[in-house]
């Protein structure tokens, strides 16, 4: 029962209806049952791990809160976090570390006897582990009281709209909403359905239409440089459409239950710098890394070199979180370098822009920064998308080659698209961009739609539904569901 399925929509409708029919004091039971049913339908074999992680985090939070001194609280917190990270490390990183050590031992001609283990990655473990860690840390700092109601805590830990791929919510935001009686409102229902429909649009008409095109290049033994450039740009569009669609459906589903989840994306491909990009992309992860990795690493640090090291270490954690492969490590380090280089050269770049009088043409200057930032992000995604480190460096070399960017070569690279698929994609991509254009003017697209006549609104909704049903393709899971 994935988000993109009739089964999920029927499941959501049933959950919403029952939620508002039940008295408030029983709703947590329904939400917990629905969350466990949803998770079990996707990954029944790891239900026990989810239950154990929930119970452990619940009791660890209470124990931390009961400690009389800050030093005692810190010890218990570190033990709790270590156990949570051990579970994550065992399932997600054991074979990565094991294979890396084996490669080093082989290179040095040492004997290495630890065998490869058949370990399956539990669904959503990266997301609910980070949520658990933030909960324990907030209790340690007295920013959050330990939740005593096991039912409400369990719902917070496994709330089905955001369990599989976020947003990564903080307890201080989600728990109070679960405890307050949410009223059935037309506004929440309509908004929720709109966000879900938009998520289906982006997933089936943008992301899943691009996925096989991108794969045909990245899985090819001998792609041309221009094909790598085009496929990488398309992958950036695919990844954004895919992940933001998942967030749209999560936010829409929760809103229908009266719960407001954190926005996870703010048009990241229109960022004017890498720092700006990370304030717009996967916002709940970015803020989590800032609050629980970067700030502790740089607490009390004043030297710029120490802060830069903290930035690199934070992005290294981001890369490792995304996947157990050296390609993700390199991707994280590239973004760490981007951030350090961007900060170190900011004043020089501003002086250069002033010297060549770019600042006198602000619109052109902004779009130039957007283009440069987007290309830097695309280059990093060569490593994110490549299957191996060797492939990543080969593809990166092709991406950076001037010949790969020749207009004729790029035009010829569009042959990876069947003509009909290209026309369909371009049509819906233009609609997608129109939505983003309206949003960039700080006007909600859905508010613009809601102000139209009933006939216009219904025609638009029918168009969305018709487009998804007739032209939408699916069958692929969400990219971030694998992290």
Catalytic residue set: 322
Please state, in angstroms and rounded to a whole number, the distance separating the CA atoms of residues 128 and 156: 10
Number of H helices, E strands in the chain: 23, 0
| Cβ within 8 Å of residue 178, ≥6 positions away | 28, 31, 152, 155, 156, 159, 259
Residue in the block written with tokens 């370098």: 337
Enclosing H/E stretch for 340? helix 326-344
Please state, in angstroms and rounded to a whole number, the distance separating the CA atoms of residues 171 and 384: 31
Please state, in angstroms and rounded to a whole number, the distance separating the CA atoms of residues 332 and 323: 10
Please state, in angstroms and rounded to a whole number, the distance separating the CA atoms of residues 361 and 366: 9
| Cβ within 8 Å of residue 53, ≥6 positions away | 84, 87, 128, 129, 132, 157
DSSP 281: S
Length of the chain, in residues: 483
28: left (phi over 0), alpha (psi -120 to 50) or beta: alpha
| Cβ within 8 Å of residue 6, ≥6 positions away | none
- Cα separations (Å) of 418 from 43, 66, 163, 213? 36, 64, 36, 9
DSSP 181: P
Closest of 315, 322, 265, 314 to residue 292, by C-alpha: 314
3-state DSSP assignment of residue 342: helix
């Amino acid at each position: 029962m994935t988000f993109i399925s009739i089964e999920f929509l029927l499941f959501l409708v049933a959950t919403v209806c029952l939620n508002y029919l039940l008295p408030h004091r029983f709703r947590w039971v329904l939400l917990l049952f629905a969350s466990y049913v949803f998770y079990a339908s996707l990954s029944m074999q790891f239900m026990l791990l989810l239950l154990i992680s929930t119970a452990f985090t619940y009791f660890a939070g209470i124990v931390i809160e009961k400690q009389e001194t800050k030093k005692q609280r810190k010890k218990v917190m570190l033990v709790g976090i270590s156990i949570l990270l051990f579970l994550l490390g065992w399932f997600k990183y054991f074979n990565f570390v094991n294979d890396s050590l084996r490669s080093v031992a082989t290179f040095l001609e040492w004997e290495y006897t630890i065998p490869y283990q058949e370990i399956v990655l539990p669904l959503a473990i990266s997301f609910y582990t980070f949520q658990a860690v933030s909960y324990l840390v907030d209790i340690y700092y007295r920013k959050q009281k330990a939740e005593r109601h096991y039912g409400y805590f369990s719902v917070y830990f496994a709330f089905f709209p955001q369990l599989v791929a976020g947003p990564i919510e903080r307890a201080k935001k989600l728990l109070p909403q679960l405890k307050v009686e949410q009223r059935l409102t037309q506004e929440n229902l309509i908004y929720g359905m709109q966000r879900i429909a938009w998520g289906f649009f982006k997933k089936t008409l943008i992301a899943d239409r691009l996925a096989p095109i991108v794969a045909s290049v990245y899985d090819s033994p001998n792609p041309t440089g221009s094909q790598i450039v085009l496929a990488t740009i398309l992958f950036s569009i695919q990844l954004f459409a895919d992940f933001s669609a998942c967030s749209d459906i999560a936010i829409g589903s929760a809103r229908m239950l009266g719960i407001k989840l954190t926005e996870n994306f703010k048009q990241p491909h229109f960022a004017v710098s890498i720092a700006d990009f990370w304030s717009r992309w996967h916002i709940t992860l970015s803020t989590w890394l800032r609050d629980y990795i970067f700030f502790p690493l740089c607490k009390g640090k004043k030297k710029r070199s120490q802060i830069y090291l903290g930035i690199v270490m934070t992005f290294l954690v981001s890369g490792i979180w995304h996947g157990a492969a050296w390609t993700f490590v390199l991707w994280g380090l590239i973004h760490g370098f981007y951030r350090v280089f961007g900060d170190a050269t900011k004043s020089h770049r501003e002086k250069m822009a002033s010297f060549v009088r770019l600042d006198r043409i602000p619109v052109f200057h902004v779009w130039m920064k957007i283009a440069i930032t987007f290309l830097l992000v695309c280059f990093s995604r060569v490593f994110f998308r490549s299957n191996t480190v060797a492939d990543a460096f080969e593809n990166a070399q092709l991406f950076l080659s001037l010949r790969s960017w020749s207009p004729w070569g790029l035009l010829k690279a569009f042959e990876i698209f069947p003509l009909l698929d290209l026309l369909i994609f371009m049509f819906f991509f233009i609609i997608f961009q129109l939505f983003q254009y309206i949003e960039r003017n700080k006007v909600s697209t859905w508010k613009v739609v809601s102000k139209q006549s009933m006939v216009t609104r219904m025609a638009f909704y029918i168009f969305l539904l018709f487009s998804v049903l007739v032209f939408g393709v699916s069958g692929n899971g969400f990219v971030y569901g694998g992290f």
